[in-house]
Chains A and B, each alone.
Chain A
Amino acid sequence: MTLLGEFSLWAAVIVGLWCTVISLSGRWNGRPELAATVTRSTHAILFCLLAASLALWQGLISHDFNIEYVAAYTSRNLPPYFIVSAFWAGQKGSLLFWAVVLSLFGSLAQTLTPRRYSDLLPYVAGVTSAVVVFFVGVMLLSANPFERLAFTPPDGRGLNPQLQNVGMVIHPPMLYLGYISITVPFAFAVAALLSRKLDTGWIHAIRKWTLVSWLFLSIGITLGMWWAYVELGWGGYWAWDPVENASLLPWLTMTAFLHSVMIQEKRGMLKRWNLGLIVGTFLLSIFGTFITRSGVISSVHSFTQSNVGYFFLAFLVIAGTFGFTLLYTRWPLLEPAASLDSVVSREAAFLFNNLLFVGIAFSVLWGTLFPILSELVRGNKITVGPPFFNRVNVPLGLLLLGLTGIGPLIAWRKASPENLKRQFLWPGLAGLATLAGLLAAGMRDPYPLMALSLAGFVAGTITQEFQRGTRARMRMHQESVPVALGRLIGRNRRRYGGYLVHVGMLIYFVAFAGMAFKREQEATLKPGQSVEMRSPFGHTYRFTHIGISQYEALNRIVTAGTIEVTKDGKPDGLITSEKRQHVDSFKRPTFEPSTEVGIRSGLQEDLYVVLAGVVNGTEEAVYRFNLNPLVWWVWFGGMVLVAGGLVTMWPGGGPTIRARRPAQAGYEVALDAGTVDGRAGGQADRRAGGQAGRRADGTAASGV
């Protein structure tokens, strides 16, 4: 099967190279049969890489330890689901995973894109194929997953214990899907630039792809936080590790794009900026891969160091030069169709929002690379850890949170003072009331205080938007509250799905603020001894060490410490934390003992118990106890965010044909000033399409 795998990789490279050369050189122009062949070759690449993937999986499942990758990441006693996830656990397998998923997306882009964008598709095929060729080329030249050993070991090394977690089965694929799918919008942007078809067509063609990409990145990042929290055992979920930062960077710029693209759709502005954001997001996704795989910056998440980093660096430089040079050459064709009317307008709010998103991305990138810069300039190695990132980024994050509440309250084009007063009154009061309540409760920490007050303001904004929209529908259509609310969201999914995403972000910020009040304590306990902790919510927890038990399970020997918990004097169950010594099928230890955290998750706080070790091989155990406030809300916020994203991208939701028909008889007026080209029929069309909740003063909200 490895022969089939290698052959498939070579076949993919050859077909991909052909596709890239033909499509990017434009030789298919005027030759429809050649254009069709180019687009069809994406399916052939997918077929080749699926065959290679099946060959690797076959090796993993059949325990073919003569394959170096299989011996390095699996063992005979590894549970089956981890054998499946071992496919992307190592450098070589994950490169193949990346390539096959990218070829799938490339193929889907050709299949799912409406025919009206068919002029772009051969170019899209060329770009996706070029990226696939790069990944497969790296595999063939430097990281071949089918490489064989000179001997066959009786058993493999097994999977790193920290990767033997359900979070690691799901988290990397999700993040990869996010990273990889960015290539499709990039390919469309390049196609638009190459073909000089720079109207909003390419924007519409990639809308779903950008949302898919953003959604997968969001899920991947949140699952990564969850994995870090339950598996790494340090008691938090975000440590500003370079690899964590690398995953955040494309998410930030993609989020900026999802906002700024609305201005291009509505006003024909920011064309250059949007193209720049897409090119930048793609480069950041490759940069993230470079960081993870090069070993240039140390990280707990890094793959084994290898020379693939050089390939990625070269690709990054080439792709960046190509993308931005192309953008530069098309600069004159990207004149905006309109200009901003006022600083106090929705467009300006979006611009400031973009400035903050990109600014935070720059700040994170800057902090990640600053140690290298410092060493280059001063010859002095420094560490840039969480204190640096928190100091620089927390104020920016709070500004962004504030803008999340401000943006939807400002009208498009220009907001009047009366309008601002009317819009800001209740959300502002909500924010002030939250601040007053927190001060009265004795909270004095400035950052949590600001975060929670701003969260109150944003919650006020979103509530006001839903409330006004629902009320308008109830008035216009005589609907009940649930029906009006449901139809309000259903008929205008982009806008109200966007608000749901804002709710998710709001919950995130509140949960992040909660971690400022975490409590932690180390204790050495003999069986029967207890330690007491008081939580920020005023509960008193007593942790009593019951004892240590040892047993064998699956592919490991477990040493479990059991803790009996009481909350405010009442029994609250048991929590177990484990030390796990993983062994191969010959009972030989494979890795250092790992720690399995015991977590009791609640709406107010998590009880987080870590068995640090035992004293002199006895049942006297050293524990670390954490009371982590509001952590459950991080995961819930993630779910709301994803739900909002799904609502936003769900097909349909526009005006019904019946509602659209009466509005067709519009009129068209062109003002002499040349600044306004109003198609009132179109506007009336939209109005009839169920966008209730619109106000006479013309204010409304953004989606994502």
Chain B
Amino acid sequence: MERQPAGFDVVAGHTRRRFLGAAAGAVAATIGIAATLRAQGEEPLAGQGANGSLRDPTVVGRSRNPTSPRDNDEAIKTIEQRLHCTCGCNLDVFTCRTTDFSCTYSPELHREVLALYDDGKTAQQILDAFVAKYGERVLMAPQPGGFNLLGYLLPGVAITVGAVVLALVIGRRERRRSLALAAASAGAPGAGGAPLAGSATPEELERLRRALAEVDD
């Protein structure tokens, strides 16, 4: 290690004093700022009272109406989750009105649902009324009937048919193989037929069987 030059301690002590002085100043300033902020914190940050106006309301988007308990009604929500918003998005009415806050369609559709609900309509009647007004496209999923059944059933039917065909084909091959092996066994040495493995001794066959069992991984 290099030796420190003479006078280093003096310089270091001078630096340390300056540093401590600066640190004390910084702490005092921090406490002062914190106290000021604390005093300010008793007032709303941007408002002018308990319910003051924002500094710039134009940057928050469309003004919202206060929600009512009915906006959270599970029955209404369930209906709206089956209805497609007509604004051009891919969302249902409930998700759109609680997500895409610039959408003016979903709040209107929500009001329509509420009005029909208030008229005593059931969920299905409300859905039917929407289909009558906006067409089948207003449903988040097509009604399971007629041509639409093809949409619902084809994948399941295709997979089921595929599985059945697969099982039948494998089963048939399995039976065929069993018959062939039985025939071969009937002709094995000792049974008066042709040898099963002309080039292998019984010990080798046993080793082979064990080796094949070991391949399972």
Inside 8 A of B54's CB, which chain A residues have their CB?
548, 550, 559, 614, 617-619
The residues in B between 85 and 138 inclusive whose CB is less than 8 angstroms from any CB of A are: 88-92, 95, 98-99, 101-102, 135-138
B72 in contact with A521 (CB, 8 Å): yes
Judging by beta carbons under 8 Å apart, are B215 and A548 in contact? no
Residues of B within 8 Å of A367, CB to CB, are 151
Q: How far is the CA of A595 from the CA of B99 in the complex (A)?
A: 9
Closest residue on chain A to residue B198 by CB atoms: A672
A341-B174, A359-B158 in contact; A615/B214 too (CB < 8 A)?
no
Q: Which chain A residue has the least Cβ–Cβ distance from B215? A: A683
State the Cβ distance, B133 to closest chain A Cβ, in Å: 15
Among the 9-residue stretches B11-19, B23-31, B161-169, the one with 4 or more Cβ atoms under 8 Å from chain A is B161-169
Give chain B nearest CB distance to A410 CB in angstroms.
10
Known A343-B167, A348-B170, A383-B139: A549·B46 in contact at CB below 8 Å: yes
Chain A residues with CB under 8 Å of B101's CB are 593, 595, 612-613
Is A298 an interface residue when CB atoms closer than 8 A count as contact? yes
Stretch in A60-68, A79-87, A173-181, A387-395 with 4+ CB within 8 Å of B: A387-395
Docked complex: B174-215 residues within 8 A CB-CB of A: 174, 177, 180-181, 184, 194-200, 204-205, 207-208, 211-215
Q: Which residues of B contact A669 (CB under 8 A)?
A: 197, 199-200, 204-205, 208
* Minimum C-beta distance from A635 to chain B (A): 21
Residues of chain A within 8 A of B90, CB atoms compared: 239, 241, 298-300, 385
Instruction: Determine the chain A residues whose CB is within 8 A of the CB of B64 once the complex forms.
Output: 524, 612-615, 622
Is residue A363 within 8 Å, beta carbon to beta carbon, of the partner chain? Answer: yes
Docked-complex contact A617 and B177, CB < 8 angstroms = no
The minimal Cβ–Cβ distance linking B122 to chain A, given in whole angstroms, is 18
- Which A residues touch B151, using CB under 8 A? 366-367, 370, 374, 384, 388
* Docked pose: A678 CA to B212 CA in angstroms: 7
* Interface: B1 (CB within 8 A): no
Interface string of A651-666 (1 = CB under 8 A from B): 0000000000000000
* A698-B67 in contact (CB<8A): no
Q: Which residues of B contact A520 (CB under 8 A)?
A: 98
In the complex, B61 has a CB within 8 A of chain A = yes
Q: Name B216's closest neighbour in chain A (CB-CB).
A: A698
Complex: chain A residue closest to B54, CB-CB:
A617
Decide yes or no whether A432 CB sits under 8 A from chain B: no
Contact (Cβ within 8 A) A620 B216: no
Expressed in whole angstroms, the minimum distance between the Cβ of B201 and any Cβ of chain A is: 9
Q: Is B7 an interface residue (CB 8 A)?
A: no
Across the interface, do B60 and A559 meet the contact criterion of CB distance under 8 Å? yes
B213-A340 in contact (CB<8A): no
Q: Which of B57, B92, B155, B194 has the most CB of A within 10 A?
A: B155
Min CB distance, B168 to chain A, in Å? 9
**Chain B residues near A521 (CB-CB < 8 A):** 72
- Asked whether, in the complex, the Cβ of A383 is within 8 Å of the Cβ of B47, the reply is no
Say whether B36 faces chain A, with CB atoms less than 8 Å apart.
no
**CB of B71 to closest CB in A, whole Å:** 5
Are A392 and B152 in contact, with the CB atoms below 8 A?
Answer: yes
How long is the Cα–Cα vector from A665 to B48 in the complex, in angstroms?
91
Which residue from chain B places its CB closest to the CB of A374 in the assembled complex?
A: B147
Q: Do residues B142 and A382 form an inter-chain contact, with CB atoms below 8 A?
A: yes
What residues of A have a CB within 8 angstroms of the CB of B204 in the complex? 667, 669
B217 interfacial by beta-carbon distance below 8 Å: yes
Query: In the complex, what residue of chain B is closest to A594 when comparing beta carbons?
Result: B61
Q: Tell whether, in the assembled complex, residue B67 and residue A523 are in contact, meaning their CB atoms are under 8 Å apart.
A: yes
Question: A374-B147, A547-B47, A593-B59 in contact; A382/B52 too (CB < 8 A)?
Answer: no
Q: Which residues of B contact A695 (CB under 8 A)?
A: 216
User: Once the chains are docked, how many angstroms separate the CA of A616 from the CA of B58?
Assistant: 10
Q: Which residue of B lies closest to A382 (CB)?
A: B142
Contact among B102, B174, B184 for A592, CB-based, below 8 A: B102
Instruction: Chain A residues near B65: list those with CB within 8 A.
Output: 615
- A212 at the B interface (CB under 8 A): no
Per the 8 Å Cβ criterion, residues 100-122 of A in contact with B are none
**Min CB–CB distance A284 → chain B (angstroms):** 16
A31 contacts the other chain (CB 8 A): no
Q: Does B10 contact A (CB under 8 A)?
A: no
A626 to chain B, nearest CB (A): 9
A676 in contact with B208 given A341-B177, A392-B155, A614-B54 (CB within 8 Å): yes
Which residues of chain A are within 8 angstroms of B57 by Cβ–Cβ distance?
614, 616-617
B214 touches A683 (CB 8 A): yes
Q: Does A378 contact B (CB under 8 A)?
A: yes
In the complex where A622-B66, A673-B184 touch, is A340 in contact with B173 (Cβ < 8 A)? yes
Closest chain-B Cβ to A696's Cβ sits at a distance in Å of 7
CB distance from A155 to the nearest CB of B (A): 19
Which of B45, B194, B195 has the largest number of chain A CB atoms within 10 A?
B45
B55 within 8 A of A: yes
Q: Which residues of B contact A232 (CB under 8 A)?
A: 99
A148 within 8 A of B: no
Contacts A266-B215, A620-B51, A700-B217 given; does A387 touch B208 at CB 8 Å: no
Say whether B50 faces chain A, with CB atoms less than 8 Å apart: yes
Does A624 make an interface contact (CB < 8 A)?
Answer: yes
Q: Is B217 touching A492 in the complex (CB atoms < 8 A)? A: yes
- Interfacial chain B residues near A300, Cβ < 8 Å: 89-90
Known: A362-B158, A614-B57. A355 touches B166 (CB 8 A): yes
User: Once the chains bind, are B66 and A672 in contact (CB under 8 Å)?
Assistant: no
A680 within 8 A of B: yes
Decide if B142 touches A383 in the complex (CB within 8 Å): yes
Residue of A359, A383, A696 touching B155 (CB-CB under 8 A): A359
Q: Which residues of B contact A676 (CB under 8 A)?
A: 208, 212
Binary A-proximity of B65-78 (CB < 8 A = 1, otherwise 0): 11100011000000
Does A333 make an interface contact (CB < 8 A)? no
Known: A299-B90, A352-B163. A615 touches B66 (CB 8 A): yes
A526 interfacial contact with B, CB 8 Å: yes
**B137 x A381 contact (CB < 8 A):** yes
Bound-complex Cα distance A261 to B213 (A):
21
Q: Does B44 contact A (CB under 8 A)?
A: yes
Answer whether residue A411 sits at the interface, using C-beta atoms and an 8 A cutoff.
yes
Is B4 among interface residues, defined by CB-CB distance under 8 A? no
B216 engages A699 (CB within 8 Å):
yes
Cβ-defined partner of B162 (8 Å) among A343, A355, A366, A698 = A355
User: What distance in Å separates the Cβ of B53 from its nearest Cβ neighbour in chain A?
Assistant: 5
B46 to chain A minimum Cβ distance, whole angstroms, is: 5
Top 10 nearest A-B pairs (CB, nearest first) are A617-B57, A363-B155, A581-B59, A613-B64, A359-B159, A388-B141, A549-B45, A385-B140, A683-B211, A387-B141
Offer 14 A-B interface pairs, CB within 8 angstroms, sorted by A.
A239-B91, A363-B156, A381-B137, A382-B137, A382-B139, A548-B46, A550-B59, A593-B61, A612-B101, A617-B53, A618-B51, A672-B196, A686-B214, A686-B215
A343-B171, A612-B64, A615-B65 known; 10 new pairs, CB 8 Å cut-off, are A298-B90, A355-B162, A363-B156, A366-B155, A523-B67, A527-B47, A549-B46, A550-B46, A691-B217, A698-B214
Give residues in B with beta carbon < 8 Å to A.
Answer: 44-47, 50-57, 59-67, 71-72, 81-82, 84, 88-92, 95, 98-99, 101-102, 135-142, 147-148, 151-152, 154-156, 158-159, 162-163, 166-167, 170-171, 173-174, 177, 180-181, 184, 194-200, 204-205, 207-208, 211-217
